[in-house]
Structure 1
């Protein structure tokens, strides 16, 4: 450039520079007038230079600028948080809670099924071959004087207890327990249990006496009585022991020894399970309610 424009004026050199720049870049709108001026003045001056002394000016190529990297959005505010997440692996406190909850649910389910199968085995064993059958037909009357047979027990579970109204201590305690069990079951399974009291002393326990006696324990209790032979036949069917004398003189005082069990019968009138004195009212009520839930017609 210095050789070509050594004899030219400084203005021509400036104009030539502007001319070359206009070939590679697009001048902004504010310099378009200057480009026109520079080319008109620079051409006469540039013609004074020989063709050999001219050097071709290569248009400057602009290198493509790399695109800016987009920052990936994450839920971690710092690098330390991200590293901590990767160190912990796929397990977190949420996964731990779900694992514990699932384990507890499975444990409860298996324990529930275990108890249900145990109750089912007990009920089936009571009806199995080679075991004495508990229950059967009977023909008695209730405290109102109406006939009552084994057909009246069908359609719902029934809880049958054998005793007598002149019992000094055992029967009152067991009837209080029976009333408590009935109330607990009735609160959970209303209308699904029938409480029945059968006297082992038919001579003194007339329907009127049973009605007054059972009213003291629960108004829903059903009392059954009959002749001595009828009571003996029912006790034999339910495998109940009693020691009531067969021939009693009027006004004779005596005690009756008998078995102390509650017999749970299903809606078909078949024996399910016997509850003894070792069961509390709450335990007995739970057993009865469980059998009611497990029952399938």
Structure 2
């Protein structure tokens, strides 16, 4: 895929929100162990926010890999204007170290956040992201049910678009420059 393949298409390919969402006041702990103020740290940047977990067998790693691949085909100037924030839905197993190592496999600039499940679930609920407490199965495995949408907050702090599981790399790469420019 080349950037030339992305030019000329009008409008974003993500799912338009009928009711845009303001950036929530998320305050959790980063992989460095320090408090992370989501609004302040991502102010003026296109921010892609995803709730998931590192032991996920399918959607979470695929989504992070697809976003990383899309960012990889964009000019460095665009890439520098994007924050990708991953909030764990399995904070008992996703310690800061686990979260940091897992995200670094995709892109070392990706931000991982953790905190109490109750706090994380409250933030997810503000955005309409389904999140259920992790449940241990009889075989010892853990099931973590969570929404699969990536919420895209434009540099003005408003989300007009979400991306669902299975969004293609080319669609992220097409939309990111438009979202940076405030075109939704």
Tell me the TM-score normalised to structure 1 length: 0.52
Q: 2:161 aligns to what?
A: 273
1:293 deviation in Å? 2.3
The answer to whether the Cα contact below 8 Å between 1:197 and 1:223 also exists between their aligned partners in 2 is yes
Q: 2:19 aligns to what?
A: 126
Q: Count matched residues.
A: 170
Q: 2:179 aligns to what?
A: 291
The answer to whether the Cα contact below 8 Å between 1:182 and 1:195 also exists between their aligned partners in 2 is no
* SS of alignment partner, residue 189 of structure 1: helix
The answer to whether the Cα contact below 8 Å between 1:184 and 1:282 also exists between their aligned partners in 2 is no
1:186 deviation in Å? 4.8
Matches within 5 A, 1:1-297: 115-116=10-11, 122=16, 125-127=18-20, 133=21, 135-149=23-37, 150-187=39-76, 189-245=78-134, 253-294=141-182
Extract unaligned runs of 5+ from structure 2: 1-7
Tell me the TM-score normalised to structure 2 length: 0.81
1:159 deviation in Å? 0.8
- Distance in 2, matches of 1:188 and 1:153, equals 16
RMSD: 2.4
Higher percent of residues as strand: 2
The answer to whether the Cα contact below 8 Å between 1:206 and 1:225 also exists between their aligned partners in 2 is yes
Higher percent of residues as helix: 1
The answer to whether the Cα contact below 8 Å between 1:261 and 1:277 also exists between their aligned partners in 2 is yes
Q: 1:37 aligns to what?
A: none
- Distance in 2, matches of 1:188 and 1:286, equals 15
Change (3 A) 1:181 1:147: same
The answer to whether the Cα contact below 8 Å between 1:176 and 1:217 also exists between their aligned partners in 2 is yes
**Deviation digits for residues 106-155 of structure 1 (CA, Å, limit 9, x no counterpart):** xxxxx87xx35x78xx47x433xxxxx46411210111011112222212
Extract unaligned runs of 5+ from structure 1: 1-110, 128-132
The answer to whether the Cα contact below 8 Å between 2:63 and 2:166 also exists between their aligned partners in 1 is no
1:278 deviation in Å? 4.4
Change (3 A) 1:163 1:188: same
**Deviation digits for residues 225-247 of structure 1 (CA, Å, limit 9, x no counterpart):** 1111211111111211122248x
Higher relative contact order (CA 8 A, sep 6+): 2
1:173 deviation in Å? 1.4
- Distance in 2, matches of 1:126 and 1:169, equals 29
Which one has a bigger Cα radius of gyration?
Answer: 1
* SS of alignment partner, residue 126 of structure 1: strand
